[in-house]
């Protein structure tokens, strides 16, 4: 099976391309290197990615659409995106261009390249938004209520997928990811709040906590996320699934877990909340188990212990 991965030079995309190569898929990658890293590409080539299957281009362009149509994949995993809430509030136009136009361009190219199934990366936090008063964990049946341009661009991309599916028969799956953490493909610590905490604690610096730190997240390890994409690529019936640990963890509890792993005291410094960031993420991940046979396998404490081994080499969020 031939699978094209967009955003493959990024954090999650590098791992998705790696598991697909490991499983013997023929893999192509498409990335504009806006935040992707050449070191990830070098690593993928070392793992068997062929240089003629590398497309360095912007996913919103005709050039990218032509590259997809010409390569004619059986599966397209679309991860290329502007992935940050804060950047989306600072520049909503860029966010919409990358996340909405990029997705539509890839859906359209896939629809015109024969028998291709598409898997979109969405967000299990930003798309649902604030589900005020919800007692239960958020299942995929809950109506999205985004509160940031990022959440809206991801929800809009999902809606386009639904319309493309209905109009053209294109099978599109959506994975709504929790807070993904872990290391980049080359081993350096990945983006996100856990890496920032690890760096600060290891350096003996105070740790910047946004708001009161009681906001919750579903932290899920990048290796588990890559496996969810691999399983979805191999699934013929389209799915919409939350991909997370199913464990609700406050930011302060996550900081404490980092401090425990480093055997150092917490010294939180609270800063103003970011507009558009949701207060609670609590994902129901039972459907991923029944439909994909997937569940998260890396416990948060073990993932954090691995992350703190070399926090000095961390890449800033
Ligand atoms: N990291 C998380 O916790 C998280 C959570 C939920 C959803 N997601 C989604 O997962 C996907 C991957 O996120 P990530 O954390 O790996 O981000 P990342 O920034 O590490 O990777 C994104 C990649 O896409 C590339 N890219 C950006 N715009 C592009 C364009 N117009 N054309 C081609 N390539 C482009 C970048 O160069 C980069 O390599 C995104 O769609 C993101 O919204 C991530």
Question: Does the residue 102 lie in any domain?
Answer: yes
Question: Does the residue 290 lie in any domain?
Answer: no
Nearest CA to 6 among 155, 110, 152? 110
| 13 Cβ inside 6 Å of ligand 1 | yes
Q: What is the CATH number of the domain that holds 239?
A: 3.40.50.720
pLDDT per residue as tens digits for the range 107-123? 999 999 888 999 999 99
DSSP string, 89-157: HH-HHHHHIIIIIHHHHHHHHHHTSSS-EEEEEEETTTTT---TT--SPBPTTSPP---SHHHHHHHHH
Question: Does the residue 113 lie in any domain?
Answer: yes
Same domain, 52 and 124: yes
Same domain, 173 and 28: yes
Q: What is the CATH number of the domain that holds 203?
A: 3.90.25.10
Query: Which of 5, 6, 8, 10 to probe ligand 1 with, by most ligand atoms within 8 A of CB?
Result: 10
Question: Does the residue 89 lie in any domain?
Answer: yes
| 83 Cβ inside 6 Å of ligand 1 | yes
| 252 Cβ inside 6 Å of ligand 1 | no
Same domain, 267 and 279: yes
Same domain, 36 and 143: yes
Same domain, 272 and 159: no
Nearest CA to 120 among 233, 15, 288? 233
Question: Does the residue 29 lie in any domain?
Answer: yes
Query: Which of 33, 83, 144, 217 to probe ligand 1 with, by most ligand atoms within 8 A of CB?
Result: 83
CA dihedral 227, 63, 69, 118 (to 10 degrees): 30
Radius of gyration of the chain (CA): 19
Question: Does the residue 292 lie in any domain?
Answer: no
Ligand 1 atom nearest to 124, measured from its CA = 6
How many domains is the chain built from? 2
| 32 Cβ inside 6 Å of ligand 1 | yes
What pLDDT, on the 0 to 100 scale, is given for residue 252?
Answer: 97
Would you state the structure tokens that stand for residue 115, as one six-digit string? Answer: 């028998």
Same domain, 86 and 212: no
By the 10 Å C-beta count (0-12 exposed, 13-18 middle, 19+ buried), 312 is classed as: exposed
Same domain, 106 and 57: yes
Query: Which of 4, 6, 12, 37 to probe ligand 1 with, by most ligand atoms within 8 A of CB?
Result: 12
Residue ranges, the chain, pLDDT below 50: 314-317
What pLDDT, on the 0 to 100 scale, is given for residue 311?
Answer: 60
Nearest CA to ligand 1 atom 43: 83
The rounded Å distance from CA 126 to ligand 1 centre is 14
Question: Does the residue 35 lie in any domain?
Answer: yes
Residues of the domain holding 25: 2-179+220-243
Same domain, 133 and 277: no
The rounded Å distance from CA 263 to ligand 1 centre is 33
Same domain, 202 and 227: no
Same domain, 116 and 203: no
Strands 26-31, 54-56: pairing is: parallel
């Amino acid at each position: 099976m031939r699978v094209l991965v967009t955003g493959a030079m990024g954090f999650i995309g590098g791992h998705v391309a790696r598991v697909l190569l490991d499983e013997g898929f023929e893999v192509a990658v498409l990335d504009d290197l806006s935040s992707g890293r050449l070191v990830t590409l070098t690593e993928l080539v070392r793992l068997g990615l062929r240089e003629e299957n590398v497309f360095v281009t912007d996913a919103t362009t005709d050039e990218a659409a032509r590259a997809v149509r010409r390569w004619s994949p059986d599966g397209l995993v679309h991860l290329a995106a502007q992935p940050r809430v804060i950047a989306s509030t600072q520049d909503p136009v860029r966010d919409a261009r990358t996340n909405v136009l990029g997705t539509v361009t890839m859906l359209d190219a896939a629809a015109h390249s024969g028998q291709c199934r598409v898997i979109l990366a969405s967000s299990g936090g930003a798309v649902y938004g604030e589900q005020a008063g919800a007692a239960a964990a958020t299942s995929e049946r809950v109506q999205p209520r985004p509160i940031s341009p990022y959440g809206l661009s991801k929800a809009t991309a999902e809606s386009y997928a639904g319309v493309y599916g209905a109009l053209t028969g294109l099978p599109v799956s959506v994975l709504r990811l929790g807070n993904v953490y872990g290391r980049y493909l080359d081993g350096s610590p990945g983006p996100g709040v856990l890496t920032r905490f690890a760096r600060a604690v290891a350096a003996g610096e105070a740790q910047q906590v946004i708001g009161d730190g009681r906001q919750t997240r579903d932290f899920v390890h990048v290796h588990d996320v890559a496996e969810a994409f691999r399983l979805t690529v191999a699934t013929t019936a389209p799915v919409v699934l939350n991909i997370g640990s199913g464990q609700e963890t406050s930011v302060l509890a996550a900081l404490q877990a980092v401090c425990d792993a480093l055997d150092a005291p917490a010294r939180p410094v609270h800063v103003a909340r970011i507009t558009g960031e949701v207060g609670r993420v609590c994902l129901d991940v039972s459907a991923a188990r029944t439909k994909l046979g997937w569940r998260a396998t890396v416990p948060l404490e073990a993932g954090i212990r691995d992350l703190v081994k070399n926090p000095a080499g961390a890449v800033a969020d």
